[in-house]
């Protein structure tokens, strides 16, 4: 299928950022296996409420679609359901936005029951208010099958039927997801005594390739956006008496919709419950600083801002003629390392850094908490990783792990019987 890309440039926007975001949108479309045939940017003081772009620009896009034989139009910004319907009436083609393209990629790449269920929920919630004949046609051309079902109630239109069935399907899927998440929480508790290291970062930064190198695994690591949606867990070998598990997670991207982040909150809880985050950055990308910013923003949204972190500048082998770059980065980002995931010496050095960081920056402590001490319980569950908990007639006993900085900030005066430094 062929796509035509559209963006709106407002006075406060940087034209270079608009172009880069459009390039990223083009990469998203190509990840679906489609082709980007044309692109246009309109400069306006503010979006048009009914159609986002001006009517003249919409007519221009319609003519381009006929001339270039375009299958659908994609806006780089998020559109309201009303804007989508109005634009489809004007352009006479299916109109999508950045969010809908990302959702299609998520549907394509979801493999586990958990990720498939999460994606289907957010897809249906997003699609229900945007249903139109053009959207349904586009979905079926992609093999989505539409909403299914043909049982009409009195006076119902086909779109009303589809919306009703979507609502029922969402309710059923959410119940299924609750069961899946309970099972995953049980699995996490069974691994509580092992160190939990989680890879995070911008999409296509090389997280899975690096995980394969660290853990001697063979996970799929294609050069495409959102290749990884499922949390894969592997063990680092050769770490003496330390049992270290490494978890790969879904990549981030700019303008990732808040609803999409919320839908994957359960998956990203892996990051919030980690002992250490490895923030993977493609240092060869010209916008690596923006990628760091986007990742940090999403980590804050999922409650992982305070988790100890090492920034890993990956793909350093793609940088030519800048021998001083590692020293410059080390000054700007003290807790960082520059590596190539394809060099054994770099991986050995990186593995040693992980072990040393965990040993020097983590403490284990046991807290005795009185019944009714909700403040202490909140601190424990919000800022530590609970390894073990037991309640007696008089109190709760919690064995927890946390960074030294968290201990100093929240628990230095707490009632505990034992502190163990690693």
| pLDDT, position 264 | 62
CATH number of the domain at 394, please.
3.30.70
- Is 400 annotated in a binding site? The answer is no
CATH number of the domain at 34, please.
3.40.50.11060
Same domain? 290 vs 408: no
CATH number of the domain at 235, please.
3.40.50.300
Same domain? 296 vs 254: yes
| pLDDT, position 154 | 44
- Is 279 annotated in a binding site? The answer is no
Report yes or no: 96 and 28 within 8 Å, Cβ to Cβ.
Answer: no
Same domain? 207 vs 353: yes
- Is 204 annotated in a binding site? The answer is yes
- Is 75 annotated in a binding site? The answer is no
Same domain? 311 vs 405: no
Same domain? 15 vs 98: yes
Same domain? 293 vs 349: yes
Same domain? 168 vs 272: no
- Is 375 annotated in a binding site? The answer is no
- Is 202 annotated in a binding site? The answer is yes
CA 9 from chain centre, in angstroms, equals 26
Last residue within a domain, chosen from 127, 156, 186: 186
SS (H, E, C) the chain: CEEEEEEEECCCCCHHHHHHHHHHHHHHHHHCCCEEEEEEEEECCCCECCCECCHHHHHHHHHHHHHHCCCEEEECCCCCHHHHHHHHHHHCCCEEEHHHHHHHHHHHHCCCHHHHHHHHHHHHHHHHHHCCHHHHHHHHHCCCCCCCCCCCCCCCCHHHHHHHHHHHHHHHHHHHHHHHHHHHHHHHHHCCCCEEEEEEEECCCCHHHHHHHHHCCCCCCCCCCCCCCCCEEEECCCCCCCCEEEEECCCECCCCCHHHHHHCHHHHHHHHCCCEEEEEEECCCCCHHHHHHHHHHHHHHCCCCCCCEEEEEECHHHCCCCCCHHHHHHHHCCCEEECCCCCHHHHHHHHHHHHHHHHHHEEEEEEEEECCCHHHHHHHHHHCEEEEEEECCCEEEEEEEEEHHHHHHHHCCCCEEEEEEC
- Is 346 annotated in a binding site? The answer is no
- Is 340 annotated in a binding site? The answer is yes
| pLDDT, position 413 | 62
- Is 274 annotated in a binding site? The answer is no
Per-residue pLDDT of the chain (422 residues; tens, 9 = 90+): 999 999 999 999 999 999 999 999 999 999 889 999 999 999 999 999 999 999 999 999 999 999 999 999 999 998 998 999 999 999 999 999 998 898 888 888 777 787 788 888 888 888 788 776 555 666 666 666 555 444 444 445 777 888 888 889 999 999 998 888 788 777 766 665 678 899 999 988 888 889 888 888 766 555 545 555 456 678 886 555 667 888 888 778 887 766 666 666 656 777 888 889 999 999 999 889 999 998 998 888 888 888 899 999 999 999 888 888 989 999 999 999 999 999 999 999 999 899 888 878 778 899 999 988 999 999 898 888 888 899 998 899 999 988 787 888 788 765 555 555 54
Same domain? 344 vs 298: yes
- Is 251 annotated in a binding site? The answer is yes
Same domain? 227 vs 325: yes
Same domain? 415 vs 367: yes
Separation CA 312–CA 323 (nearest Å)? 17
- Is 196 annotated in a binding site? The answer is no
Tally of domains in the chain? 4
Last residue within a domain, chosen from 360, 381, 410: 360
Separation CA 284–CA 378 (nearest Å)? 42
Q: Is 384 exposed, middle or buried (0-12, 13-18, 19+ CB in 10 A)?
A: buried
- Is 222 annotated in a binding site? The answer is no
| pLDDT, position 223 | 52
Q: 177 lies in which domain range?
A: 110-186
- Is 315 annotated in a binding site? The answer is yes
| pLDDT, position 155 | 47
- Is 342 annotated in a binding site? The answer is yes
- Is 117 annotated in a binding site? The answer is no
- Is 263 annotated in a binding site? The answer is no
Report yes or no: 181 and 187 within 8 Å, Cβ to Cβ.
Answer: no
- Is 208 annotated in a binding site? The answer is yes
Same domain? 281 vs 318: yes
- Is 215 annotated in a binding site? The answer is no
Last residue within a domain, chosen from 155, 186, 217: 186
- Is 206 annotated in a binding site? The answer is yes
Same domain? 355 vs 368: no
- Is 213 annotated in a binding site? The answer is no
């Amino acid at each position: 299928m062929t796509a035509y890309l559209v963006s709106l440039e407002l006075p406060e926007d940087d034209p270079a950022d608009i172009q880069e975001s459009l390039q990223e949108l083009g990469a998203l479309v190509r990840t679906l296996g489609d082709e980007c045939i044309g692109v246009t940017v309109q400069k306006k003081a503010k979006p048009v409420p009914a159609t986002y772009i001006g009517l003249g620009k919409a007519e221009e896009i319609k003519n381009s679609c006929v001339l270039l034989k375009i299958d659908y139009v994609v806006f780089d910004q998020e559109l309201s359901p009303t804007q989508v319907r109005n634009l489809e009436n004007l352009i006479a083609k299916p109109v999508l936005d950045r969010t809908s393209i990302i959702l299609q990629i998520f549907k394509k790449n979801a493999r586990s029951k958990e990720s498939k269920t999460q994606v289907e929920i957010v897809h249906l919630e997003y699609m229900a208010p945007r249903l139109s004949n053009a959207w349904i046609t586009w979905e079926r051309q992609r093999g989505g099958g539409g909403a299914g079902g043909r049982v009409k109630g009195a006076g119902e239109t086909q779109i009303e039927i589809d919306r009703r069935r979507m609502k029922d399907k969402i309710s059923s899927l959410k119940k299924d997801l609750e069961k899946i998440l309970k099972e995953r929480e049980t699995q996490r508790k069974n691994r509580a005594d092992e160190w939990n290291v989680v890879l995070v970062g911008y999409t296509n930064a090389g997280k899975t390739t690096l995980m394969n190198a660290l853990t001697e695994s063979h996970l799929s690591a294609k050069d495409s956006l959102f290749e990884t949606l499922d949390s894969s867990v592997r063990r680092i070998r050769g770490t003496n008496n330390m049992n270290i598990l490494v978890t790969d997670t879904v990549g981030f991207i700019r303008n990732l919709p808040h609803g999409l982040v919320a839908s994957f909150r359960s998956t990203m809880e892996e990051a919030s419950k980690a002992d250490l985050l490895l923030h993977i950055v493609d240092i060869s990308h010209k916008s690596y600083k923006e990628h760091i910013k986007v990742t940090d923003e999403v980590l804050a949204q999922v409650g992982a801002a305070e988790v100890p972190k090492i920034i890993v500048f990956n793909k350093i082998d793609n940088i030519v003629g800048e021998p001083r770059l590692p020293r410059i980065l080390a000054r700007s980002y003290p807790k960082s390392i520059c590596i190539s995931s394809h060099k054994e010496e770099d991986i050995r050095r990186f593995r040693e850094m992980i072990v040393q960081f965990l040993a020097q920056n983590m403490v284990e402590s046991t807290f005795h908490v009185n019944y009714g001490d909700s403040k202490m319980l909140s601190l424990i569950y919000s800022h530590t990783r609970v390894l073990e908990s037991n309640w007696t007639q008089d109190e709760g006993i919690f064995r927890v792990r946390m960074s030294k900085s968290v201990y100093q900030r929240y628990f230095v005066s707490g009632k505990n019987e034992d502190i163990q430094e690693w």
